[in-house]
Every structure is written in C-alpha cells, then in structure tokens.
A and B are shown apart, each in its own frame.
Chain A
Amino acid sequence: MRPFAYERPTDAATAVALASVPASAHVTAPVQYKGGGTTLIDLMKLDVMQPTTVVDITAIDDEAMHRIVPSDEGLRIGSLVTMAKLHADPSVVRDYPLLTESLWQAASQQLRNMARLGGNVLQRTRCLYFRDTSYDQCNKRVPGSGCAALDGSNRGHAVLGTSDQCIALYPGDWAPALVALDARVEVLGRTGKRLIAFADLHRLPGTTPHIETSLSPGELITAFIVPGGPRRRSLYRKIRDRESYAFANASAAVAIELDGRTLRDVRIGLGGVATIPWRAHRAEGMLRGQELTEANARAAAEAEFGDARTREHNGYKVVLGKATMVRALLDAQAMEVPR
C-alpha cells in the first residue's frame, strides 16, 4: 500500500472541503472517503486505488447520517448506517423486506458490521482483471488499455448494459432493491445539497468505464430516501454458487401489489447480471395490470433479457437471470404478508 494522509473530520462540511479536489472522476480522485473501508482498503492493498489522502467519515457527528427515520416523504436512511444495523431494524424488516433481505444475504456478518450504506452502493466491481494490476488491459483501471475480460475469464461478467470497452458486473445486492423502489440519493457538495435519482447514480460503462457514477469529485452521499411504502409484499432472491458469503450469480429484488392475481404494481431490480443496478422497466411494463402467472412472468423475463450480450463463459447468466426473476415474482405472490 502506498503511503497516504489520514483525516478524520467530525463534520460533513469539513469532509467535503477536504475531498473537493480536481479529478476526472469521483472514484479516481486523489482524496477518497472511507466508510467501513471494506472496498477501499482492499483496493489500496492491491494497488488498484492509490489515494494520497483518505478521509474517514465515520466520525462525522451529524445525527441524520447515522439514523433510519420513517417520514412523510418515505424512509430516510443515513449513509453512515451500517449494513448490519439496517437489516436488523424490525420496522424495516416488516415494511421493506427487500431492503433488509438484500443486505442480510450480502457479504458476511463481520463485513456488514463494518460497511456503511454510502460505501455499499459505491462498492466496485469484482472483475478479476480490474482487481489485479499485473494485467495490462483494463479500461476501467487504465483508460484506453483494453479489456482483458472480453476474451478472458468472464463467467462472472455482465450480460446487460455492457459495452465493447467494459463488461464489468455491478456486484452489490442492496442497490437493485433501491433502484426498484425509485429511491433518491441526498448528496452534499461544496455548493450545498442536491437530490439525485438512485437510478442516475451509476453510469453505464459506454466508452468511459472509469467514470462509474454521476457524483462529482468530493461529493458526499449523506442519505438515501425511499419514497412511498410500506412495501410488504417484496423480497430479494439471490442465487449464488454457495449458500452464504458469495456474490450473486443473479438476483432479483421485487415489490408487487396484487388485486387477486392481478398485478396492480410491480417493481423489479436485477443484480448479478448487469453493469449497473438494473431496473427491469421492460418486464414491469409487460406485467403491470396483468395476471401474475408463471407464463406471463417468463414472457416478461424473455423481453427484459432480449438485448443481453453474452461472452464465452457467461451465457448461463441469461438463462439464470430470467429464472431468478420468475422465481422472485412467484415467491412474492406466494408470500404471507402481515396486514
């Protein structure tokens, strides 16, 4: 790991002032925030990230950044809340099962105790060529160098939202749930606060895979706002090679409302298959107002994956992604929902 300066401010404005330095993108900026550090410190040890200053934000004593507050505009979740705290919150467990199940099935308890939700949504891809600097080719790590995954080992790579420059998967479990619920992100910059749609936070790789988010260098995520709810008929289905402590091969966060068998509302976020947290708009459009049957769910899944692009080892993700979406919808339909 390269030497770096360490700052631990106790207020958000100071943190933002420290971090607002010129850079081409939030993730490549020489000043990086550290929440739990479970993504950042790993990547620093691997020499993938080389910040010269690390600003530890966990000591910021702004109550609102540490709390979970139900309000009129919906649920407000501070960005410094740990993964463990949110998935253990009884009212969120009851009212938004997809938000807690997706966290509960992520990483391990030790990591969930450390990791904060702000860092969680910004976790970076697990692409093996990105994480190992001995590979020359990685457009995300070294813009313009090529992409080793295209003709390399790509079982874990995305099939939706890819480009010829990068097929890296967005690996997180929580973000698909947020994107399904039309969440918003509250961001503090040098000029003040702004709200952005969660769906706009992550950027498709396109020709600039090294620019991962729409945050400007130095912008600090302070909270997530989940409008509406409760969403009691909702869940998260995560399919993985082993039963625990593994990233998703495919996942689906769904929240539905039923009139008998008819879908009054349906929201679907997909994980494990796309370059960004993926909102299944096309499938939702086909299902809304329709009966929820296995055949209808399958047709919607077919449509959603219609544009999928596969490589040598990840063709199964298309089959699996569709199956996971169907399973999640049927399981949500079968769920016992507390009144």
Chain B
Amino acid sequence: MSVGNTAAPAPLANMGEPIRRSESVAKVTGRLVYAADAPGQSPLQAYFLTSAIARGRVLSIDAAPAEALDGVVKVYTHLNAPRRIATPYTQKGGYASDTNMPLTGPEIHHDGQIIAMVIAETYEIARDASHRIVTRYDATTPAATIDSPGVDILHPDALAEKEKKAGDFAAALAAAPVKVEGVYSTPAQHQNAIELYSTTASWSAGELTIHEPSQFVVELANGAAAMMGIDPSKVHVVNPYMGGAFGGKGFMTQRTALVAGAARELARPVRNVVTRDQGFTLATYRSETKHHVRLAADHDGRLLAYGHESWEMQSRHDDYPLAGFGVTTAMYGKPAILTRVNLVKADRQTSGFMRAPVEMPYMYPLESAMDELAFALDMDPIELRRVNDIRESPIDGARFTSRSLMRCYDEAAASFGWSKRDPTPGSMREGDWLIGYGCATAGYPTHMAPATARVTLSADGSARVEVAGHDSGQGTYTALGQVAARELGIDPERVHVAMGDSRLPAAPASSNSLATASIGSAVKLAIDKLRSRFGNALPDDRDRSAAFARLGVSEIGDLGEFLPPGTNPEVLGMLRKGQVPFANQARGDESKNGKPLMFAFGAEFVEVRIHRLTREIRVPRMTGAFAAGRIVNPRTARSQLMGGMIWGMSSALLEATEIDEKRGRYVNDSLGEYLMAVNADVPRVDVIMVPEEDPEVNPLGVKGIGELGIVGTAAAVANAVHHATGKRIRDLPIVMDKLLA
C-alpha cells in the first residue's frame, strides 16, 4: 500500500516508473508556446460582441462608431458575415459542437451569442470598438432553467437503449421493507481552463493553417474544411500544447470558421482570443441535471429496487444526452431497475464534455442515496456496498473484466481512519467545529476508440512516436513515451513524441479517459510490426547498428492501427475524417452481445469541518484509493486522480454557474465570481493506487484514470456534511446558505 503525499509514488505491481513529465520544466518556466502565442504573421485581431439577451432578435446594429475608430479593419454582423457552410452536429455525422451558427440572421438563441465580430489591427482597438457598437433588440422572455415555464421536455425514442430496465420495479419497491427517495440536482458548470479559447487562422495558396487549442485536431481540421468548403487535405491544425481543456476544447465550435472566413476574405491572418466571460457562452459546458432516485432494500441491505428518473438541460437546437444509467446500473446488487431520462430544451447554448460528463452528475445522486439507505438501515455505508458488490451486471448478467471496488474501500478506509467514525450525525466535534466523515464510490468505464500511430526506430537507438493526439496537461507525451520505451526496450529519454498536429497519424479526441489506452495500444501495435521486421526480436544496443546495416536503412518506421474490440475496420476511415463520437467506440459501460463490462473503480473518503455558528464548510483531508489496471506512470496518474478529487470537492462546495432566471443569462462569468478551490481549500489529499491486472481490456491492460477521481467526490462530501450536521443537502453546490437555512 502506498499512502501519502509523495509526488512520485514508488511503483507497485503492474506500474511503470514515476518519471517526470517531459515538458514540465518548459511549462513552469513559461517556455511552451500555446496556440494564441504562435509566432510570426502579425495577425489582425478579432473581437466578438455577444448578445445581451438570451432570446429574441437583433432589431438593428449600428457599427459606424466602431468602424470610425483608427485601426478598425472591418465589422462583421449578420448582414455581411464571412461565407461558411453549415455542418451538422458532431453526433449526427457533422463537426459542430453547437449547430447554432452565429451571424447568419438576427435571431438570438442564447445568452452571449456572437452578434458581431470586430477586426482591428490590435486587440485593444478591437475591444474598444466592440464597446461602441449600438445594438437594439426585440427581446422575448427566455426559458433558461430546468423549472422555467416555456421549456420543452422531451423523451426521445433514440435514448430507449440507454434507459436500463430489469425486473418489475413497481412490485419490488412496493414489497421492500426499507426505502429511501430523494430529488437531487447538479448545477451548470464551466471548464474554465486557464488557457483561454483562441483561434489563429492564416491562408496561403488556398491552404488554411489553424492554431487553436483542441482536444481533437483531426476533427477540427475536417470540420474547418467542411465549413470553408475546401478539401480536408488543405487544412492544417497545429496545437502541440494546451493549458487545460477539460472537455471545453473537445469539438469544433462556430468560432473557428468565423475567424478562418474573415482571414480568407481579408487575405490576412486573423486571431481571436475569447475573453474569460465570453468563454462561458462560446463553448460547450456541463449543463444542470436533476434526478429523482428511489432505492429499496431488505433488512440486510441487499438492494431490491433502484429507480432513477433524470432531467438534463439542453439547447433547443442540439441534443447532448448523458443518460448515465450504464454506469449507475453497473454498481450494485441485483435490484429491479427502472430508469428514464428527460431532455429539457431551453434557450441555452449546447452543452458538452466536462470532466466525467456522464459519471459525475449521475453517480452523485446514486452515491448520496446509497448513504441515505445505509443511514435508514443503520448500517455502515461501506458494508452496504460490500453486501451489494457484484461480479455481473444486474441488467444482462454480463461479467466485469476486473473489479476491485471493495479492495479500494478497504485500503482507503484503513488509511483514512474510518473506524474512528461515530455514526451518529452531529456527534463528532472539536471546539466550535462539527466534524463529519463521508465516503462514496468512484467508477469510470474503460472506453476505447480507434487510433493510429507511427513509431520510427533509428539505428542510433532513439525512437520517434508520431500521432495526432493531444496533451492538455495530463501527461500524454510522457505516458506514450513510456509505453514506446517499454516495448522497444530503450530508455524513455530516447523517445521523442510528436502530437497536436492534424497531419500526423489520426488519433481520437482526448476525452473519455481513453487516450493512453487507445493511442498506447496503437503504439504497441506499431512496435509489434517493427519487431516482425527484425525477425520477432528487436535489436538491443549491442547489435542494433548491425541489424540496421543488414536491412540497409538508418531508420525504420511503421504504422500501428488499433481497432477497439467489437468494431469493424471502417471505423479507421471515420477516424481519419474526424467522425469519432460514440458510434465507433468500444464503451466500457455497454455489454451488448456478450461483451463484458470494463470499469475502473475507486473509493473516496472525505472529512469536513463545519463551524457551529457560521456554518462554512472546510475539507481538511481526503483519501482516495483507485484500481485502474496497469498504471503507466504513478506520478502522472496520482496527479490526475488527485486533481480529480480536488475538482470533485470543489464542485461539491463551490462551483456553479449562476443563472439570472428572469434574463436567462450567466452572471458570475469571471474567475473572481465563479469560485473553484484554491490551495488553502485542500490541505491534504492522499491517493492510493491499488495494484490491479486486467490483460483483457486492451493490449496494454490500461484503464482510463483521467476522469475517475472526480466521480463520487461530491457525494462523499455531501455524505460527510450529513454526518457532521444531520442535514441532507441534495442540491449542489453545498454552500453555507443551505446549512444556515
């Protein structure tokens, strides 16, 4: 067992070396070049003016005062916008993360929609000019929250497959002796990566080069080509480094084509940097959800019924459904199950990925309800999980490739000191502070997407890995280098990894925690091919030059193509066109046709302290234990898991995008007002990596860890708050207001 706050935990069984991230020194010394810093070109600057209403029409827009400013080159509105071709929604075969195409007409569909784009010689002039544009609106009352009058509530047939069912729920519930029921909600949240969204577009001889932070450069290149009406081979996206992404940079937004279109018309490179507040409305985000959960059990805690109906906030024009029942029904027991998801269509922008997009909002209510059930049963919450730990799916009996949930609980509980907990709410105190302990399960499916990668080995013993993958800060450069080094039998320092370029071999989006598993598997397959060229044994230092001499080359490269189990080779073609979402992935939470479930699990423990008078909540410590197959690098893995837990805590207590209900607008759209945890909020986080082997999931035996840590934390915090105070807060975030009420 490895516990404690050491940045580079010593590797246990089935773990690689905790080497440092290859770009870390450059990163902390400010030497990495990010998209908006791309040198040369002296681009024109584009600044967006965004709508002050959430619904209605632009009646008139007077750009003359802006155009009169020295240095303003052009003001685009819906009357003269650059030419673009609409592309369908990403999940409908197109490339747009939000299909509401700005500057195509006077209609406004959400707060902060782009209504004009000012192009000027400098950023400051463009921003100043934008403030001088006079807009008149015809505003209509928006419907912008789940409970607002005027929203449409849909229940699309297409989601039926995701609505898991088993047995006779109504009968099982009616007959059960112990029941709990609650309505839970999670707020809208925004990724707020430190690196702002930006696009720099330049044209040369009919070819378009784009510098833009992207978690999916292949999709961005193909999407930009589609919207510009040119061949995808004429678009080059370059983006080697990102300052955080968290899903916000997942798929192409409408901004790219606006900027590229302006650059084409004006025949000059154009750059747009989205401001912090604009970032709240000009990218996808985590939308709010509401859940009605019912759990019933026998007196020993065995689950008899699980009912879960949810409501998810959506834009009017696109559906981004989560329907996270594949995850929740893979957790416990063999209850009768009834689930249903409702899409709430409102005057909002389209939502999308944000760390554990599905699992975070769906595991929070389940894990809270499990704690409520344990309390109703007068049972230890860990024991309730133990009684309901499973080897197979309650839906269809599918097995798990591996499942170490209770080992995680036992290791984390021992390290945390759970045995010191007096289960009576409000019973533990220190001076004026009420103390509460809470725990919850983390679970994340092991997804995989098709991926390709080229590996080139040189006679001098160095190697190159080339792939159009991405590192938004999680350590993919380092992990892929380690995977290649291990397979090649060379030192990781001798491997150079190139990523973030759409002309490299195609890789899927860096999302769903699938990068290391999918791209790493492609790297391994490429090296397997290289090995066969050398008669099934790669040469080592002593015979390498001789082996290369025999082949008459100084370097040798090959392409690995990874197809997730159960997918057909056509998916590689789709990948190269940047059409990856879902249809061509292998999903860990789907168990069709005898496919086993693939999941990483964890257990999280939280201590809260709440002042008896003023009721502010502080979290002095958290402990999490996780089992996720092979750990390629315990240092980067620990930092991902720790970051996830910190964010989970932050989203339990602080993070929420506030919406002015009457106006349908986000109000706290700055880092000053959108609070997230700072260092002082997280004194101690212990991460335990529980060794686990799962050779079945993929050639590397790797499960995703990027999102695992954030799942369950919010419930652990809420459960601890209940333990400290006896109050059950079912809507996040748990701010002091709710405890003072």
- What residues of chain A have their CB less than 8 Å away from a CB belonging to chain B? 1-3, 45, 47, 126, 128-129, 132-136, 148, 151-153, 155, 239-246, 249-250, 316, 319-320, 323-324, 326-327
Scan residues 664-698 of chain B and give those whose CB is less than 8 A from a CB of chain A. Answer: 667-668, 672-673, 675, 677-681
- The residues of A that contact B667 with a CB separation of less than 8 Å are 128-129, 132, 152-153
In contact, A47 and B131 (Cβ under 8 angstroms): yes
27 CB-based A-B contacts, threshold 8 Å? A1-B128, A2-B128, A128-B673, A132-B277, A136-B52, A153-B658, A153-B668, A155-B658, A239-B736, A241-B616, A241-B653, A241-B654, A242-B653, A242-B675, A242-B677, A242-B680, A243-B618, A243-B681, A244-B678, A244-B681, A316-B737, A316-B740, A320-B736, A320-B740, A323-B613, A323-B740, A326-B613
B127→A1 contact, CB < 8 A: yes
Residues of A with C-beta under 8 A to B141: none
| Per-residue contact bits, chain B 700-741, to A (CB 8 Å; 1 contact, 0 not) | 000000000000000000000000000000000001110011
Tell me, in angstroms, the Cα distance from A134 to B662 when the chains sit together: 15
Does B84 sit at the interface, judged by CB under 8 A?
Answer: no
Q: Are B675 and A246 in contact (CB under 8 A)?
A: yes
In this complex, what residue of A is CB-closest to B131? A47
Interface residue SS majority, chain B:
loop
Nearest chain A residue, comparing its CB with the CB of B739: A316
With an 8 A cutoff between CB atoms, is B298 at the interface? no
A47 to B673, CA, bound (A): 18
- Given A134-B52, A152-B663 in contact, is the A327-B614 Cβ separation under 8 Å? yes
Tell me whether B616 and A240 are in contact (CB under 8 A). yes
The smallest beta-carbon distance between B152 and chain A, in angstroms, is 24
Give the Cβ gap from A337 to chain B, nearest Cβ, in Å: 19
Among A47, A240, A323: residue with most chain B CB under 10 A? A323
B611 within 8 Å of A by Cβ?
A: yes
Complex contacts, A323 vs chain B, CB 8 Å: 613-615, 740
Query: How far is B660's CA from A135's CA once the two chains are assembled, in angstroms?
Result: 12
B737-A155 in contact (CB<8A): yes
Residues of chain A with a CB closer than 8 A to B128's CB: 1-3
B300 at interface, CB cutoff 8 A: no
CA distance A108 to B668 in the complex (A): 19
**Interface assignment of B124: CB less than 8 Å from any CB of chain A:** yes
Contact with A along B92-108 (1 / 0, CB 8 A): 00000000000000000
Q: Report whether B680 and A316 are in contact in the complex, using a CB–CB cutoff of 8 Å.
A: no
Which residue from A3, A241, A243, A327 sits with its C-beta under 8 Å from B735?
A: A241
Indicate if the CB atoms of B736 and A241 lie closer than 8 Å.
yes
Nearest residue (CB) in B for A316 is B737
CB interface residues, B 388-432, toward A, < 8 Å: 432
Contacts of A47 in B (CB 8 A): 131
Please name all residues of chain B whose beta carbon is closer than 8 Å to the beta carbon of A134 when the two chains form the complex.
Answer: 50, 52
| Bound form: Cα–Cα A242–B672 in Å | 12
Who on chain A is nearest to B673 by CB? Answer: A128
Find out whether the CB atom of A327 lies under 8 angstroms from the CB atom of B611.
yes
List chain B residues, Cβ under 8 A from A240.
616
Q: Please tell me if the beta carbons of A316 and B614 are within 8 angstroms of each other in the complex.
A: no
Q: Bound state CA distance, A136 and B139, in angstroms? A: 13
A135 to B662, CA, bound (A): 13
B124, B660, B681 — most chain A CB neighbours (10 Å): B660
Give every chain A residue within 8 A of B662 (Cβ-Cβ).
151-152
Within the complex, the shortest CB–CB distance from B263 to chain A, in Å, comes to: 25
